[in-house]
Chains A and B, each alone.
Chain A
Amino acid sequence: MHDLTPITALGGIEPQVDTVAGLTLPENPDLALDSVAARFGQEAGCAKALQDLLGAAAPGPGKALLSEPLAAVWSAPNQWMIGARFSEHEDLADTVKAAVGTAGSVTEQTDAWVCFDLIGSGIPQVMELCCNINTRALAAGDATRTSIHHLGCFVICGDPEGFLRLLGPRASAGSLHHTLHTAMKSAL
């Protein structure tokens, strides 16, 4: 077991949590991510392997599969991002690769992203200051990519009544956090 101490995307030992009015913005480092892309001619096999792994069909365009212990979000034709709790699945890439075998290419994406969750009330008012998504129309399991503060982000609706998950580029975590927190203070 290695002895290196990780830090969060915002640079702390502990994740940062901000609350404005009824909305909380926790930084979430407990997320392992892997991309999987079907290989040429292996699309059906890869999809079947993922279905067996996830316990349900891999999501289609604009959708996420909100499931435990593994979840998934569609990222491109025949390409998905698989997610799980980092504390339980740090070796997620190995798990996914074992499942898809030569039907897909798998890369670790865990620390390419920062995860911010918006939990509580007022999410649409905040998000309409940040990006072009009609947050009010999102249903659980809707997911898309957009630009927030010039940063390419995934936006995943967990619960339209008060849970939105955002994935942004890790190296720009500070900028993304600043945008979200500022929007919260402006809107709420």
Chain B
Amino acid sequence: MLREDGIALDDGSAARLAEDHFIVTTTTANAAKVYQHLEFVHQCLFPDMDVQLISTTEAWAQYAVAGPNSRKLLAKIIDPSFDISNDGFPFMACANITVCGGLRARLFRISFSGELAYEIAVPARYGDALMRRLMDAGKEFDVVPYGAEALGVMRIEKGHAAGNELNGPTTALNLGMGRMVSKVKDSIGSKLSERAGLNEANALMLVGIRPLDPDHKFTAGGHLMNRESAVSAVHDQGYVTSAAYSPTLNSMIGLAFLKNGGNRIGEKMRLVSPVTNLNVEVEIVSHHFVDPEGTRVRA
């Protein structure tokens, strides 16, 4: 979702449950702001559009179920009349379903973790019971609950942008999503996103970084310098927005915005932060560290 000036406002999802029914999700902290934005657009920009908006944030308890056995687990609680095979419920599908013998629920096949994953929602009063049922049914698959830190590592491994990357001045182009903004269909932000200043050849682009020495550590906030340059703000090439230790790759990894980053994959650079005495050599890589082909989410 873009602002009028082409800057990214929020990232979320839009699920179409029916011809006339969409569910829109937002970054948690932006929920009220996005709702306000939608109401402004409806009331002030397009008052003749026949659309009704209401928040349902608290009405549903929603859980992500992720991993190679997520479909098998869900098959144990989703009522059998619903086909959740890969063909019957492909990546990015959504539907109203029932679970556990008839309780209304919603199923979304989306993945922030990069794994084969779903999100399942039931009315909030049944959320506790559903979670207990999932944990019980998942014992044969060694199911474990996972939290925000694990999710944070997985989404960085996958290269998914999040709040760190939607930091105020970034555009869809910076995020590597420029082609998602249609040049044919009008949308809020599309026109001003074409401003020359936002589309220069050396525009910041989202990339991945890895330390040349896998034992080297770093945090977000450091700046990227050409190895032959003096370390100073004048020579700043970009900055790191997210960093985590990847147990999959046995190395620190990070997401960064780098000038002309799309054409600098493979380049060796220096990551510095004079404030924290950080100075390590890194390689610029694709920000899709794990499963770049997306075979897991489409399994």
List chain A positions with a Cβ less than 8 A from chain B: 1-9, 11, 29, 35, 37, 39-41, 79, 104-105, 107-113, 169-171
Contacts and interface: CB of A to CB of B under 8 A. Distances in A.
24 contacts: A2-B99, A2-B103, A4-B100, A4-B130, A6-B126, A6-B129, A7-B129, A9-B125, A11-B128, A37-B54, A39-B50, A39-B52, A40-B48, A40-B50, A104-B52, A107-B54, A107-B56, A108-B59, A111-B61, A112-B59, A170-B58, A170-B59, A171-B57, A171-B58
B55 interface: yes
- Pick the most buried of A7, A113, A169: most chain B CB atoms within 10 A of its CB: A7
B102 interface: yes
B49 interface: yes
B59 A109 contact: yes
Given A6-B125, A39-B52, A105-B52, A112 B58 contact: yes
B55 to A, nearest CB: 7
A50 to B, nearest CB: 15
Nearest to B21: A105
A175 to B, nearest CB: 13
Nearest to B128: A7
Contacts of A4: 99-100, 103, 122, 126, 129-130, 133
B123 interface: yes
B101 interface: yes
B60 interface: yes
A141 to B, nearest CB: 24
Interface residues of B, number: 29
Contacts of A112: 55-59, 124
Contact of A2 (B20, B48, B51, B101): B101
B125 A29 contact: yes
Contacts of B130: 4
B59 A111 contact: yes
A149 B100 CA distance: 37
B130 to A, nearest CB: 6
B40 to A, nearest CB: 15
A184 to B, nearest CB: 25
B52 A37 contact: yes
B101 A8 contact: no
Most B Cβ at <10 Å: residue of A2, A3, A9, A35: A2
Contact of B58 (A35, A104, A111): A111
A16 to B, nearest CB: 14
A40 B125 contact: no
Contacts of A171: 57-58
B79 to A, nearest CB: 9
